[in-house]
Amino acid sequence: MTTDVTDATFETAVLGRSTEATVVIDLWAPWCGPCRTLGPIIEKIVDATDNVELVKVNIDENPGVANAFRVQSIPAVFAIKDKQVVDGFIGALPEAQVRAWVDKLAPAPSEADQLVAAGDEASLRAALEIEPGHPAGVVALAELLAERGDSEEALALLARIPESADTRRVAALARMGGEATPDDGVEAKLDALLDRVKDDEVARQEYLDLLEVMGADDPRTASYRRLLTSRLF
């Protein structure tokens, strides 16, 4: 699946995500003919490749990202891993060259990777015996534990790996006792907490946890984050 990234979402969708998978960023513009040639090719290849994800940035609408990469010509493609550029190319390469480039980014799955892919608790625990800091394994097992109420173990597991959008979400779920955000009543709960966030650290954490579990895709999240900022500052 390809994600469109903006200046506002770049840090989370690219840098944050790159701690868990290699993120390929395709910088393009609607007026760029070679971009239209390359786009479908790289989408097809990355979609068929494990542990590599594709994001696209329209540089006309997102000059911040373009400036960060010092883009002078497009299409420009970069691979990001652990928040660092590890490879890249400029121009619309032929499909065979694009495939070879992507293949270099995706080493064969390790034994731990295969166990994590199985997804059950026993396999996840076995994977973390082999690789205690396996990001996907830690997140998956921590989420399983959080959902059944084993909050302390879930939070201890998450402490093994760098913070990311996924770790923040699962940690919030653990602190909430494994209860996903209800559709009914969540706004009333956030409104009530909002009156206490400035002086009550527990209320502030509960408020933030609700937003994390709701997720950035929920249109209410951004609004309630702005309300929090106005109350705190």
Q: Residue 181: what pLDDT?
A: 57
**Distance between CA 70 and CA 37 in Å, rounded?**
22
β pairing state of 2-4 and 52-58:
parallel
Nearest by Cα to 26 from 70, 59, 72, 61: 59
The string of pLDDT tens digits covering residues 120-172 is: 999 999 999 999 999 999 999 999 999 898 989 999 999 999 888 889 889 88
pLDDT band, very low/low/confident/very high, at 97 (cuts 50, 70, 90)? very high
Residues with active-site annotation: 32, 35
Between helix 186-194 and helix 219-232 the angle, nearest 10°, is 10
Q: Find out whether 213 and 172 touch, Cβ atoms under 8 Å.
A: yes
Beta strands across the sheet bearing 22-28:
2-4, 52-58, 22-28, 76-81, 84-90
Q: Residue 132: what pLDDT?
A: 95
Q: Residue 17: what pLDDT?
A: 87
The string of pLDDT tens digits covering residues 29-42 is: 999 999 999 999 99
Total-model pTM: 0.55
Count Cα neighbours of 166 within 13 Å in the Cβ-side half-sphere: 22
Q: Residue 49: what pLDDT?
A: 87
